[in-house]
Amino acid sequence: MTAILLDGVATARTIRAELHPEIAALAARGVRPGLGVVLVGDVPASAVYVRSKTRACEELGLSHETARLPQSATTGEVVAVVEGYNRRSDIHGILVQLPLPPQVDTIRVLDLVDPAKDVDGFHPENVGRLVQKRPRFVPCTPAGIMELLARYRIEVAGRRAVVLGRSEIVGKPMALLLLHADATVTVCHSRTRELPSVTREADILIAAIGKAGLVGPEHVKPGAVVIDVGMNRVDDPARARELLEPSRWPELEKKGYALVGDVDAPAVAPLASALTPVPGGVGPLTIALLMKNTVRAAARV
């Protein structure tokens, strides 16, 4: 068996294309969806993510603005930016790029985002609505994964799903969405005992734990669908070669590092029925769903 690769790039392109009629309808009303981004500090990965999100806005014709604050910014300074975006009628969605520096009270900042503009779905009101199965905005990565499963006609109802990771951003909302879709869900984490014996029960395995190549063939039931949320930089060339298909070795030689997922893809691909690549799997879907949430936020005005 060789896993089918679930193409996040193509799926994201389709989702963005489906937004054009909605954007045109808003334009006819004189509304241009606007995204306000808060970027604090100089974390290279965060800067890359923000550039990808603003580029997607430009491709769709959405307006966007990024408030850049120094690494030394205080909670009060970040709060002031968020409150400013809350008041502006031309900003329909607010994205606070995480992680924030340690001196910034992340919970206070996220709690102050207007729930009607919380396109990341992190505000406690939106989390509560998701729990009650009446969501306003769903966190973008889990929502993107559900879109991917649906568009590849992968059945969820009645199947065993295991989520590796319990973060507020991916793990917990992912488990809720699978539960709402009638899967039987188990959430695993750093304290889970005999992890392979738990993950091998999964028909659908979501790996979102942030450890390069953690999920090997011993974790995967033959025929399982494996969704790899991880994005890890590996600088050790020997380890990177183990986790990369040979076709990516020239990329490793050129860059001196590799981006890999939480799944040991070469080892797992012969077992799984379907697998998301890294890169090109979940990442593009996250950005596409952010665009979708921003357009929907503007439509609510």
Catalytic (active-site) positions: 53, 97, 120
Provide CB contacts within 8 A for 209, sequence distance 6+: 164, 165, 189, 230, 262
239-248 long-range CB contacts below 8 Å, 24 or more apart?
A: 239/212, 239/213, 242/213, 242/266, 243/212, 243/213
Q: Which of 124, 107, 103, 106 is nearest to 115 (CA)?
A: 124
Q: Do residues 115 and 126 make contact, with C-beta atoms less than 8 angstroms apart? A: yes
Q: How far is CA 178 from CA 9, 25, 140, 185, 189, in A?
A: 22, 32, 14, 7, 17
Measured distance CA(227)–CA(244) in Å, rounded? 16
Q: Are the CB atoms for 274 and 2 separated by under 8 Å?
A: no
Q: How far apart are CA 248 and CA 242, in angstroms?
A: 11
At 176 the three-state DSSP class reads: helix
Torsion of CA 203, 208, 209, 210, to 10 degrees: 140
